[in-house]
Structure 1
Amino acid sequence: MNSPLWIDFPLHFDARGRTAETSYADHVLDMIKQVLFTTPGERVNRQDFGCGLLDLVFEPNSVELAATLQATTAGALQRWLGDVITVQRLEVTAEESTLRVDLSYVLVETGEERTEVIEGGIR
């Protein structure tokens, strides 16, 4: 039996001209990136979706900012993906116009442990 494939994000076409597909683990990573880099208010029918990390990039680095980034990110991942992942470790750092998220998590469905480094900058 073949495992199901998921639509890749962002939506695009593969070499065959079909909707590109991805694995479950990559689909979950795509969802994590959407939560992290979507600013609340950005989605029309889900105004509270996201965590607003990009809004804090140019704030002065401080212990308070680091704590805010950690809490905001952890809360958003729990709220939006708590039924999909269990966060093991989370570290958010901001340097100039780039955010770096070091994340270790377990896929609830498969028990697979994953570690990702996700970087994003100001749009």
Structure 2
Amino acid sequence: MNTDFLGKGFAFPLQTNQRGGINVSKQEQKIRESILIILGTQYNERVMRPDFGCNLKSLVFAPNNAATANLARHYVEEGLTKWEPRIALDEVIVENDNSEERLIIQVYYRIKSTNEPGNLVYPFYLER
């Protein structure tokens, strides 16, 4: 099955390969990297696209409680729904990992064109 339509481009983070060229990622890996870029980009970080990303970093000084976890879930769902059209979100779970400084964000999704399931775990650190 040809899955070139899922995307191909420079790998994230940008790295060189053994031959001195730039690493390339494609298909499911490229979608995963795009999700990481969206989650790691705060609003107004992109000059020509100030609403790109999700508002997750606005919670960096918030207390580690249920309200913060629910807001983080909302921001992740909002950002991925808006900026990653190749996926359908199945579920976003945000949990406290029994520390004062970290939320564990679990993203479960399906690739729309292939119905292939995917998941990603994103640790989000809170400043204390």
5+ residue gaps in structure 1? Answer: none
Tell me what 2:62 maps to.
Answer: 59
Tell me what 2:21 maps to.
Answer: 18
Tell me what 1:80 maps to.
Answer: 83
Tell me what 1:92 maps to.
Answer: 94
1:55: Cα distance to partner? 2.3
Q: 1:116 aligns to what SS in structure 2?
A: strand
Q: 2:122 aligns to what SS in structure 1?
A: strand
The 1:55/1:65 distance shift into structure 2, 3 A limit, reads: same
- The percentage of aligned residue pairs carrying the same residue is 29
5+ residue gaps in structure 2? Answer: none
Please give the per-residue CA displacement for 1:19-41, whole angstroms capped at 9, x wherever unaligned. Answer: 21123111111110111111101
Contact 1:8 1:20 in 2 (8 A): yes
RMSD: 2.4
How many pairs align? 122
| TM-score of the aligned structures, taking structure 1 as reference length | 0.83
1:27 to 30, 36, 52: 30
> How many angstroms apart in 1 are the aligned matches of 2:119 and 2:93?
12
Please give the per-residue CA displacement for 1:38-86, whole angstroms capped at 9, x wherever unaligned. Answer: 11011111001111212213311233222211111101110111x2101
Tell me what 2:42 maps to.
Answer: 39
